[in-house]
Amino acid sequence: MNRKTTRYHLLAVGAASSLVLGACGGSGSDADAGDGDSASGGGKDITLTVATFNEFGYEELVKEYMDLNPGIKVEHVKADTADNARAALRNSLGANSGAADIEAIEVDWVTEFKQYPDKFADLSDPEVEGRWIDWKTEAVTLEDGKLIGYGTDIGPEAVCYRADLFEAAGLPTDREEVAELLGDTWEDYFAVGREFIKNSDAAWYDSAGALWQGMINQVDYAYEDADGNVVATTNPEVRSLYDQVLKASVDDELSAGLGQWSADWTSSFQEDEFATMLCPGWMLGVISGNAEGVEGWDVANTFPGGGGNWGGSYLTVPAQGKNIEEATKLAAWLTAPEQQIKAFEAKGTFPSQVEALSSETLLTSTNPFFNDAPTGQIFADRAEAVTMQPHKGPKYFEINSAMNDAITRVDVDGTDDADSSWAKFVEFVESLG
């Protein structure tokens, strides 16, 4: 069985047992660790595996690394969704077998995986101290100073839009005018949408779930308080945002009703189904890939509610690997400022490295797919607008997934109204204990 098949077989098993990681924690051994088809180093040719998801912009970098390092082969495995990547990693860590030499993790999973520090190699090194912006590194640094991840990107958010659909609906198309039109608040954004749909067959945005990500990432303690208590169902701000996004999406018909990352959502980029979407830097590669051949996309330098950060990832080195030293070198190289600029140019993944953020190459970069928008400067401005990082406790991922399910039942499936779907969300959260 090849590696890719093994990975997704394990995913299926892991999905059926959410406790697999905790049940198997600390049970690893050298005998069954790592990828069986990788050599052990010591002058031999070795194979390093890198597991990511969505778009990291590593395709050309992997080739470059192999050219620079004869004897090292790098295999890049990319999961179809971030959720599937998380499930596969949980399973392989629990089984102490099957993890890639380098595993990408998303910021929303960090607290969850920090509960199992022995599963990851310590990546702390004087050579990389000060490489990343402080909050990026602090999130993956343990109390004893162990560093379990190297930062890849951050996700400052802007608003991407279809200028051709704006023009057809009688709205301005210039990106500066659009930024002013969209205003600074969620209500401003929704109000323009209500005007847009009066003059267009397209929806205002793609998905209520996508809007939720932007809104909830502006709340300090959405689901768990500072003491670790679950407050998701009693926090009035959470319920208020839930009602607001579903009113706009369903009652006001601003949403295209697409489940983000679904096949329908992916194919919708080839049609005129929606005019705007929230876009962290890493989303630019997703849009340009899904909308290949479609003209009219642009980026407005604004975001409802001020600044917002969605996503951003790290590269970790699981302790079960056989080539930890070489994997650490590769992870350090992939996250060096020079390579992160190249990844940004390839897929729009906005760098988290201090040196990269002031790079002239970054700040003067434009994106031809988005009407030559100055995306480097736009997302640098959006990064400066991010003033807080929401608290994401150990149960954040499960609770937020349940919330997305609740929103999907109303916006996409139409099986529930807002109240009945909220009741199901409450029931799930209470079952977590």
State the pLDDT at residue 262. Answer: 93
> Tens of pLDDT along 133-166?
888 999 899 999 999 999 999 999 999 999 999 9
Using the predicted structure, report yes or no on whether residue 15 has a pLDDT greater than 50: no
Which residues are registered as beta bridge partners of 400?
none
Task: Say how far apart CA 239 and CA 361 lie, in whole Å.
Answer: 43
pLDDT mean across residues, the chain: 89
Q: What angle do CA 182, 211, 214 make, to 5 degrees?
A: 85
User: Of 216, 379, 362, 368, which is closest to residue 302 (Cα–Cα)?
Assistant: 379
State the pLDDT at residue 7. Answer: 32
Full residue range of the structural domain in which residue 415 is found: 156-308+388-432
**pLDDT (mean) for 45-50:** 96
3-state secondary structure at position 307: coil
DSSP 118: G
The number of folded domains in the chain is 2
Q: For the chain, how big is the Rg over CA atoms in Å?
A: 22
Let me know whether 148 and 169 are in one domain.
no
Let me know whether 85 and 195 are in one domain.
no
- In the chain, % of residues over pLDDT 70: 90
Q: DSSP characters for 208-276?
A: HHHHHHHHHTT-TTSSB-TTS-B-TTT-HHHHHHHHHHHIIIIIS--B----TTSHHHHHHTTTT-EEE
Using the predicted structure, report yes or no on whether residue 10 has a pLDDT greater than 90: no
Q: For residue 266, what is the domain's CATH number?
A: 3.40.190.10
Lowest pLDDT segment from 63-72, 296-305, 392-401: 392-401
Q: What angle do CA 199, 201, 202 make, to 5 degrees?
A: 105
For CA atoms 282, 155, 334, 357, the dihedral sign is positive
Residue 235 included in any domain: yes
> Tens of pLDDT along 173-184?
999 999 999 998
More confident call, 125 vs 358? 125
Residue 414 included in any domain: yes
| Confidence at 43, pLDDT banded by 50, 70, 90 | low
State the pLDDT at residue 29. Answer: 33
Let me know whether 282 and 393 are in one domain.
yes
More confident call, 26 vs 420? 420
Strand pairing of 102-106 and 46-53?
A: parallel
Using the predicted structure, report yes or no on whether residue 372 has a pLDDT greater than 80: yes
Let me know whether 299 and 428 are in one domain.
yes
